[in-house]
């Protein structure tokens, strides 16, 4: 029997509901592990900066000023597979890139802690 592993994603930035138009990319706070030597069992751990990146519609009711100026947001992404990614201590990073052709804005939020529940 098939399992649902992809589909509609629901994202909230604090209380602001966002309508996602494409895929969502995220990185958790789990450290990155790299082998010290090929074929060996030893490795190093490097801290990573968790983030979430997605494209959403340009909702006229969305408080973009709040999103742009806040530096302690909680971003929640409810994934189609039943899991939830939560990014805390988040802030909007990078340029605001919007498209008038399809009425969307690309968002990237970096944060302090990112977990997949």
Going by pLDDT thresholds of 50, 70 and 90, the confidence category of residue 113 is very high
pLDDT at 111: 96
Going by pLDDT thresholds of 50, 70 and 90, the confidence category of residue 37 is confident
Is residue 1's pLDDT more than 80? no
Instruction: Compute the average pLDDT of residues 86-97.
Output: 94
Return the SS3 of 53: strand
Is residue 3's pLDDT more than 70? no
Q: Of 71, 85, 82, 99, nearest to 30 (Cα)?
A: 85
Q: Which residue has the higher pLDDT, 3 or 105?
A: 105
How far is the C-alpha of 70 from the C-alpha of 101, rounded, in Å? 28
pLDDT at 5: 54
Q: What is the percent of the chain where pLDDT is above 90?
A: 50
pTM for the model stands at: 0.86
Q: Which residues, other chains included, contact 39 with Cβ-Cβ below 8 Å and sequence gap of 6+?
A: none
Q: What is the largest CA-CA distance in the chain?
A: 55
Is residue 71's pLDDT more than 90? yes
Distance of CA 99 to the CA centre of its chain: 20
């Amino acid at each position: 029997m098939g399992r649902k592993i992809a589909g509609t994603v629901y994202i909230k930035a604090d209380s602001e509901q966002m309508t996602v138009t494409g895929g969502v990319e995220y990185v958790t706070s789990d450290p990155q592990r790299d082998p010290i030597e090929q074929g060996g069992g030893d490795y190093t751990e490097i801290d990573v900066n968790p983030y979430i990146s997605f494209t959403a519609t340009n909702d006229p009711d969305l408080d973009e000023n709040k999103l742009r100026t806040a530096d302690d947001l909680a971003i929640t992404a409810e994934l189609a597979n039943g899991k939830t990614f939560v990014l805390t201590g988040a802030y909007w990073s990078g340029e605001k890139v919007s498209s008038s052709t399809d009425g969307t804005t690309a968002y990237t939020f970096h944060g302090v802690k990112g977990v997949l529940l």
